[in-house]
Amino acid sequence: MIRSPQRFTRNKDTVRTLQRETIERCLAPRLGRLRYFGLPSSALADAIAWQDLFEKFYAVERGVKGKEWELQHDLGLEAFRAGLLGKISLLRGDIDLLIRRKRDEFGNRVPFPFDVVSLDYSGGLFYKNRRGNFTRLQAIAALVAHQGAKRSDFVLLISCNLDQIDQGEVRRTLENVRTELVRYGANGEQVVDAYLGHELEEARLKVYVPHFVNQEAAKNRYSCDTQQVIMYEGNLKTRMMAFRFVLSHDTRTESLRSPRERLSQVFNKPVLGVVGGEPKETTLGLPKLTVPEVPRTG
């Protein structure tokens, strides 16, 4: 049976436009020669929308269990129909495994580094394997490490829904952040309480995901710039979030914790809510984090 290509909402198109703006702004000198790695979906929406920016797309498709070939074939077909066949390299399998093993199911090498990595997950970030590990988070950590080993600057795009959020993990992280903030003398108690008690999961993920990526970035000598977090409604009215990170490699950057300036940026940047295809800033009614100025020495 021939499947119809996946369709996207106006909101998703807007997210893609915002992501494109980030790519254009942050990778300007190399536009047209960029290398993409990620999950463009079998409809190849990312690749079609951004084809003028990229020289090569390494597209990952897992397919449906038992009929993996079908969606993988569809991806090839869409690439051909869109005139992108010469730019596409298909990698088959689960992207998280692929990142960790640096090979796809058929032994094809994942040729790190890439300029843009798009992890457009259809599910949540907290998927656990049989051993209880957060495979997606592990994969993101591995990805940053592989890119870091090549000292390559890149843009990391993550989209996910709010499924299977591990409240314990999120709370633990926010508590750690609270401790850190209080140590710096910020109004951490009040702010973190507001985030933990907020009715929307998006509020907590707005801090959790950037904090996680910033930590991994710092471990791998990256300076990480977190762009405004986006929340939107996807297909079937699924609540989705999109994150954009610009990671710049710097051999001087090596700290186990992300600096508090970054934390304040993460907390204080308003969220972009996309409704009916229109982006609009919102604070979600959350308080601002105030970090006391560090007294200048000398």
Partner 1 sequence: MTTAKDAEERFAYGSVLEALSRGLYPDKRHVIREFVQNSYDSIYDLRKKHASELVQPIQISIQPPSILIADHGLGMSQSEVRQYRYLGYSQKERAKHGGFRGIGKYSGLAIAEKIIVDTSPLGVPERYRIIIHADKMMTESAQGRNRPLETVLEEHTEVSSAPAKAEEHYTFVELHHLSREAKSLLDAEVLRAYLAKTAPVPLDPAFGYAKQIERRLRENVPDFLAVNLSIDGEEVYKPYFANCREPEFDPVLYRDDQPAVLAYSWYCQNSEKGQFQLKDLAGLVFRVKNIAVGDGQLARGMLWNSTPERAFYFFGEIHVLDAQVTPSSDRTAFEDNAARERLAGRCLRISSNLNRKAGEESAQRRFDEVLDKGVEIVSRREGQVQARDLPLELKDQAVYEVTKLQEDLQKRLKGPRTPAAVNRAKRLMGRTRRFLSALNRESDGFLDLRTELKFDTKLRALYDCVVEVLREEFADDPDRLERIIRRIHQHAREKLKT
Identity of the residue numbered 270: P
Q: How far is the CB of 216 from partner 1 (least distance, A)?
A: 30
What is the smallest separation between the CB atom of 59 and partner 1, expressed in angstroms? 10
Residue with tokens 């495994």: 97
Contacts with partner 1, residue ranges (CB under 8 A): 1-2, 4, 69, 73, 76-77, 79-81, 85-90, 106-108
Quick one: 26 or 79, whose CB is closer to partner 1? Answer: 79
**Cβ at position 79, least distance to partner 1 in Å:** 8
**Closer residue to partner 1 in complex, CB, 29/106:** 106
Question: Toward partner 1, which CB reaches closer, 112 or 245?
Answer: 112
Considering beta carbons, is residue 48 or 165 the nearer one to partner 1?
48
Least distance CB 33 / partner 1 (angstroms): 14
Tell me the sheet residues that pair with 239. 233
What are the residue ranges of helices labelled H in 241-284?
A: 260-268
DSSP secondary structure code for residue 262 in this structure:
H
Among residues 90 and 194, whose Cβ is nearest to partner 1? Answer: 90
Cβ contacts of 235-241, under 8 Å, gap ≥ 24? 235/7, 235/8, 235/9, 235/12, 238/161, 239/161, 239/162, 239/201, 239/202, 240/11, 240/12, 240/159, 240/160, 240/161, 240/162, 241/159, 241/160, 241/161, 241/162, 241/202, 241/205, 241/206, 241/209
Query: Residue 50 carries which side chain, given as an amino acid letter?
Result: W
Least distance to partner 1 from the beta carbon of 71, Å?
12
Residue type at 277 in one-letter notation = G
Q: What's the closest the beta carbon of residue 64 comes to partner 1, in angstroms?
A: 15
Nearer to partner 1, 80 or 276 (CB): 80
Least distance between partner 1 and beta carbon 121 (Å):
23
Residues 6 or more apart from 160 whose CB is under 8 A from it?
121, 123, 124, 125, 136, 240, 241
* 59/157 with CB nearer partner 1: 59
Residue ranges in the chain assigned as alpha helix (H): 10-26, 45-50, 68-81, 95-101, 135-149, 167-183, 188-196, 201-219, 260-268
Helices (H), 128-183: 135-149, 167-183
